[in-house]
Amino acid sequence: MTSFDCSLALQVAESAARKAGALQMEGLNKKHKITMKGEINLVTEIDLASEKVIIETLKASFPDHSILAEEGGANDENTEFRWIIDPLDGTTNYANRFPMFAVSIGLEVKGEVLVGVVFIPPLDEMFTAIKGQGAFLNGEQIYVSNTKELINSILATGFAYNVKDLGDNNIVSFRNFLMRCRAIRRPGAAAVDLVYTACGIFEGFWELNLNPWDIAAGILIVMEAGGQVSQYSGDQIELDCGTIIASNGYIHQAMIEVLNKIGCHNNILEEDVVEYLANNPEVFINYPDIYDKLLPQKKNPEVGKNIINFHHKLVKSLQESNKKLKGELGDLLHIARENEEILSQFEAIESVMYASRSLPELLSSVCVEIEKRFQDCFAEISIFRKTLLMGEDTEFHPIMDIMDENHVVIFPDEKNHPYTFKNFRPLIFSTLEKPLEKILTSKKKTFGSIILLPIVANETYIGTLNLGHEKENHFHEGHGTDFLEMLAGRIGATILNITAREVSDNFIKDPLTGLYNKRFLDNVLVYEINRAERYQYPLSLILIDIDNMGLINLELGKEKGDNLIVSFGEYLSEKTRKGDLLIRYQGEEFALLMPNMTSEDALKRAETMRAEIEKKKFIKGKKTTISASFGVASFPAEDISSKEEIIKAADKALYLAKEAGKNKVA
């Protein structure tokens, strides 16, 4: 490691990113001077201005450092220190006023990225990381998600600017993932994809043909958040390797397997790939060189036989497909034109959903937006009071009662809903002799046709999207219903995300002090120990217990006792470094997790706090003084290699401090 001051470098990089972000926000809605670097690869004057201000800011503090920037800024030769810059990642988004773009700045020291900054100006989100010190969003430490299955994961990806010219253009991989995960997002900026993987919005990200400035900062932030980054092959990531997978770690191997399923990434093809290609001849269209890759394996007679069979099947299949395609192409073009406007409306409604921050806001705003976008349509959502089961150990999360009565109807559960759905398929009433029971009754209108679409999340039926139209036969199978089903599915997923966030906050925060609780520490310790082991740095845990709290409660009363605990927590918060994690462990006991701190330094820190607490006045208007006992445990140690062992060691040390007469450090 180097003695270089990474903290100073981070401060300067943050300042540079904010200056560039201010330029970008100022020019967002203005007309831009656009220059084409390729058929669809563009650069604006804001890219160039942003790069200029970033380089000037960095050079003012580090004049001897070299620069690698997307738009070709200063590149003085310095093999030890190199700043890697993408001044505006997501230029196409920016030029079209789509507010999803970022500034990415990484510092490479002797070939290793030690500092990373990604700033998303439209959301004022500043992601930062120093190697070995964790990842942060606006100063709060972040971690990757703990979703363990690919099928439950939301992924992100992108497509290269020269996608039309590439044999491997990510389309097949996109299709393969789409069939195996919950959803795929395509924000259009790799730096955003990476940091949103780091903070748990996405479970994983993959892309090919990226440049060093696209990923330098982001990969450090993902790894510091506890994630995993590699090439498609699973090999260690290199800035210029051409392929990248970033994930929460749990789904990483599954992503590697999907990306290598058809053997088109310079891997040695296995025999089962031949069979796969024989049964999926359309892959040959996207990978015309795949047959040549199979030729070396003809030395194996059995494989050679499969290849010949594959070739025959391919030719026959293509001949038959050709006939169908001519007729189907005309139909598809007609459908595409017809549905183009519907798709545009769908995307607009989807953007409103993602902007919603609460369940009432989501349900009401979606209905209002549907009515605005689809002429003469009336929308309503029926939702069940007992909605989503968030996990095996949790209870149902109750929906708030404060709802828009014109758009939301609350049923106790699905048994009280007047209609049932078979295999989660929509119910269509093309004509109506009388109004439907309990459906769209608040509209006080007579409807000619109604469609009820089940809202499903995690395979759980949680409500319905109800649409009514004054004309008969407005809704029928195959007439835009697929888009409406997609919309209902997105509503379900968004409800899941919002309720998960609300429940998560309740689960991991202590209501009295606002600090994280023991449940959160249990999760975080796993990441921190893994990271300390990976980077070979120390990790210390201090358990802190207010002495004689029971007697204090008896003397002062429960209310003032609680006030004491709050004040004590505030004092400890002042004593934490950036990157430390303070927890209200249980009762009057607190825990302080300190990455990159040795046992010796942790003992000194604990002794300093112990002495200060003894002299500090925590209760207003009272002369009562308090004391605290401290138990310290550190990793690595011979008997500490897991979350359970470091907690046990700190607890044992705290017990010894109490046994020694309290107001001690052990």
Determine the average pLDDT of the residues in 176-192. Answer: 90
pLDDT confidence of 298, banded at 50, 70, 90? very low
pLDDT at residue 372 greater than cutoff 90: no
Q: What is the mean pLDDT of residues 369-387?
A: 79
Of 137-141, 156-160, 399-403, 464-468, least confident by mean pLDDT is 399-403
Q: Report the pLDDT averaged over residues 164-177.
A: 71
Strands of 547-614, DSSP E: 581-586, 589-595
pLDDT interval class at 270 (50, 70, 90): very low
Spatial separation of the C-alpha atoms in residues 467 and 444, rounded to whole Å: 14
Residue 217 or residue 404, greater confidence: 217
Q: Can you tell me the mean pLDDT for 100-128? A: 95
Residue 571 CB-density burial (10 A; 0-12 exposed, 13-18 middle, 19+ buried): middle
Show the tokens assigned to 103.
Answer: 């500034």
Is the predicted pLDDT of residue 420 greater than 70, yes or no? yes
Please give the sequence-ordered ranges of beta strands (E in DSSP) within 172-320, or none if there are none. 183-185, 204-208, 228-230, 243-247
Compute, in degrees rounded to 10, the torsion defined by CA atoms 484, 487, 488, 491: -160
Question: Quick one: average pLDDT of 468-473?
Answer: 87
Q: Tell me the percentage of the chain whose pLDDT exceeds 90.
A: 36
If you average pLDDT over residues 541-568, what whole number do you get?
89
DSSP class of residue 484 equals H
Does pLDDT of 481 surpass 80?
no
Can you tell me the mean pLDDT for 483-495?
81
Name the residue with higher pLDDT: 334 or 201. Answer: 201
Tell me: pLDDT of 569 over 70.
yes
More confident residue, 289 or 161: 161
- CA-nearest of 454, 487, 498, 493 to 377 is 487
Mean pLDDT of the region 385-406: 44
pLDDT of residue 295: 46
Q: What is the pLDDT of residues 579-636, one digit of tens each?
A: 788 999 988 999 999 988 999 999 999 999 999 998 888 876 665 678 999 999 998 8
What does the pLDDT read at residue 125? 95
Q: Which two tokens stand for residue 176?
A: 């393969």
Q: Sorting pLDDT into bands at 50, 70 and 90, what band is 386? A: low
Q: Does residue 273 carry a pLDDT above 80? A: no
Q: Is the pLDDT of residue 339 over 80?
A: no
- pLDDT for 596: 87
Lowest-pLDDT range, 105-109, 506-510, 526-530, 604-608? 506-510
pLDDT greater at residue 621 or residue 326: 621
Asked whether the predicted pLDDT for residue 320 surpasses 80, the reply is no
Read off the amino acid at residue 370: I
Predicted structure pTM score: 0.52
Average pLDDT of the chain is 79
Q: Is the pLDDT of residue 308 over 70?
A: no
Task: Over range 42-70, report the average pLDDT.
Answer: 88
| Position 402 pLDDT exceeds 50 | no
Is residue 449 within 8 Å of residue 468, measured between CB atoms?
A: yes
Is the model more confident about 490 or about 271? 490
CB-CB neighbours of 593 under 10 Å: 23
Q: In the prediction, which pLDDT does 118 show?
A: 97
Which of 394 and 571 is assigned the larger pLDDT? 571
Q: What is the mean pLDDT of residues 152-180?
A: 77
How many CB atoms are closer than 10 A to CB 4?
Answer: 16
Largest Cα–Cα distance of the chain, in whole Å? 93
Give per-residue pLDDT as tens, 497-516: 776 666 555 567 788 888 88
Split at pLDDT 50, 70, 90, the class of 202 is: very high
pLDDT at 385: 64
Q: What is the pLDDT of residue 126?
A: 96
Q: What is the DSSP letter of 445?
A: -
Quick check: 43 pLDDT over 60? yes
Strand segments, DSSP code E, in 264-405 are: 377-384, 386-389, 396-398
Query: For 69-73, 390-394, 545-549, 580-584, which range has the lowest pLDDT when averaged over its residues?
Result: 390-394
Enumerate long-range contacts of 564-571, CB under 8 Å, 24 or more apart.
Answer: 564/618, 564/619, 564/626, 565/512, 565/513, 566/512, 566/513, 567/618, 567/619, 568/613, 568/618, 568/626, 568/628, 569/513, 569/515, 571/613, 571/616, 571/618
Residues 6 or more apart whose CB falls under 8 angstroms from that of 422 comprise none
Task: Please give the average per-residue pLDDT across 462-485, as a whole number.
Answer: 80
